[in-house]
Chain A
């Protein structure tokens, strides 16, 4: 029977959400094609995790262990997974499009000569022929690809797109494999995992966030949005370029590599809506976006949109609110 392999992702002994999202999509694909679904965990001393994974309705869980896999190691992952996948020859290998995923999947695919498409937001399979959809131009268009010559495929899948699988109550069998990794030959070495520091501002707790993007143009223009945030009583957030430029501290950054926020209202000012930003704010109750580009992808995740120059709208909005508040 053909097999779909889902590579689980874990950090510090906990699965990351994308693992369960991959499983649910794999199950959907298998419903029509009758594939066997195998979940793979890489790590060391991961018995408990393997048991946990076995509750999600997979056909098999394989726990690949090695001391070097205790922490994420790209070389270790590529060595361990390539020999495992060579043996299994799955029709499809699914990996999360996370930093780990984007770090090892391209190397693994090249090693195995599997075609890889990254950051997929949809997959469909008919007669063992895979089609995938991914975005380009930072979310402005979707592109559907087929693989004319391939019979085995590898994909990385964008997190937060698919609904996570639930525990089924049925337990699948768990197989433990000791990975063969020539440790002496490795050219990289894990030194340390640095955890996010407890910062003075925590925007993730705010009810309202006014978030500023590159559209603000210059550090000198920041007071325009700061005044708005102050008038509303909102926390000030930012997209990555604003932080990269040193205009606001990292603690303000919303998105994949910053904070995940779920305020009642998220007001995005001059933010295009790249997926790495959207990932951190799409759980907001109401999103209002101000952007001069009517095609900006931020409008795809907004409840209310204003297509305008932010410098025309924001100061007027601030004044209006100040008047109401009598300040």
Chain B
């Protein structure tokens, strides 16, 4: 089974987010990047399928030059990917999920695959949109928020669990080729051994420019249907009172709150 996995390089989750002066975006100068959490589960699922059934795992990423793309793709190599492709351009800083999916679709069209995996969402922009849009553009059936994948004997279809809300799940059969968006917890992503990390440093990363895919930066930016009007700090739902002091003093204040509520004597 040949699997293509889309991975995104995202700012570290503990990164401090500062809104720029113009209120049109966030200050990205000091950002450090890592593989999107959801994508690491998608990669693991692809590698496990390959280990069971044979085939090849190709990872595809699209991002801006400073997103540490090579670091993320080498991590994919170290964890079992066979080939890695990146599309690099400044434009990705400003693309919406639809336009990003159009770029990814052009890359994937040229690859051999039975299955395409993406994460449910990226932890930076939280759209939960790119994977499903990509499926539509590739003409593939899809299932999103997948927590279990089973392959039929003849490898013609999958039986998957789709996680719904509140502990509900739904079992769906989907014929191959297909696209799944993978949910965290579906597996336990492996750690890469030092040896594999070293070997990954020597592997080739195929680099594509927008022009190689029939796009230009201006054309892509012109395709984005939305415009950022304003970026601002969320309004707080409750006025939080910060408790201050030494750990003992803070503990005492929390105790008072619990007492007030009649929860401790």
**Contact residues of A with B, CB < 8 Å?**
11, 71-72, 74-75, 97-100, 102-107, 109-111, 115-119, 131, 135-150, 187-197, 207-208, 232-233, 240-241, 243-246, 250, 256-260, 264-265, 267, 272, 275, 282, 285-289, 293, 295, 297, 299-308, 312-313, 316-317, 319-321, 324-325
Contact = CB atoms under 8 A, between A and B. Distances in A.
B241 A102 contact: no
Given A106-B136, A107-B135, A146 B128 contact: no
Nearest to B102: A110
Given A111-B136, A145-B227, A300-B237, A286 B257 contact: yes
Given A131-B229, A142-B231, A306-B250, A282 B141 contact: no
A194 B169 contact: yes
A114 B229 CA distance: 20
Contact of B263 (A116, A250, A264): A264
Given A289-B240, A306-B243, 11 more contacts: A102-B145, A103-B144, A118-B127, A146-B227, A187-B178, A188-B174, A191-B159, A194-B169, A240-B184, A304-B257, A305-B240
B241 A304 contact: yes
9 contacts: A119-B126, A131-B229, A137-B11, A138-B123, A145-B226, A189-B173, A240-B185, A317-B251, A320-B255
Given A103-B132, A147-B225, A256-B165, A288 B254 contact: yes
A193 B168 contact: yes
B136 A137 contact: no
Contacts of A149: 225
A68 B86 CA distance: 40
Contact of A116 (B129, B159, B252, B257): B129
Given A138-B13, A303-B241, A321-B264, A194 B168 contact: yes
B162 interface: yes
A259 to B, nearest CB: 8
Interface centre among B133, B170, B257, B261, by most chain A C-beta atoms within 10 angstroms, is: B170
Contacts of B226: 115, 117, 145-148
B148 to A, nearest CB: 11
Chain A binding site: helix, strand, loop or mixed by DSSP? mixed
Interface string B130-160: 0011011100011111000000000000010
Contacts of A306: 242-243, 250, 254
Interface stretch (B14-22, B56-64, B199-207, B209-217): B14-22
Interface of B: 11, 13-17, 19, 26, 97-98, 123-129, 132-133, 135-137, 141-145, 159, 161-175, 178, 184-185, 188, 225-238, 240-243, 247-248, 250-255, 257-258, 261, 263-265
A242 to B, nearest CB: 10
4 closest cross-chain pairs (CB), A and B: A196-B167, A244-B185, A115-B225, A187-B141
A303 B240 contact: yes
Contacts of B247: 308, 312-313, 316-317
A111 B13 CA distance: 33
B227 A75 contact: no
Contact of A144 (B133, B168, B230): B230
Contacts, number: 260
B136 A110 contact: yes
Residue of A107, A143, A233 ringed by the most chain B CB atoms within 10 A: A143
B137 to A, nearest CB: 7
A297 to B, nearest CB: 7
Contact of B251 (A143, A187, A189, A316): A316
A307 B242 contact: yes
B168 A196 contact: yes
B136 A107 contact: yes
A194 B169 CA distance: 5
A305 B227 contact: no
A137 B17 contact: yes
A312 B245 CA distance: 12
Q: Which of A106, A141, A241 has the most CB of B within 10 A?
A: A106
Nearest to A253: B167
A255 to B, nearest CB: 9
Given A144-B230, A308-B247, A300 B263 contact: no
B261 A264 contact: yes
B108 to A, nearest CB: 15
Contacts of A110: 98, 133, 136-137
A141 B234 contact: yes
A141 B20 CA distance: 12
A129 to B, nearest CB: 11
B143 A135 contact: no
B261 A286 contact: yes
Give the most central of A240, A257, A319: most B CB within 10 Å. Answer: A257
Contacts of A75: 141
Contacts of B136: 106-107, 110-111
A106 B133 contact: yes
Contacts of B15: 137
A319 B255 CA distance: 11
A304 B14 contact: no
Contacts of A118: 97, 127-129
Contacts of A207: 263
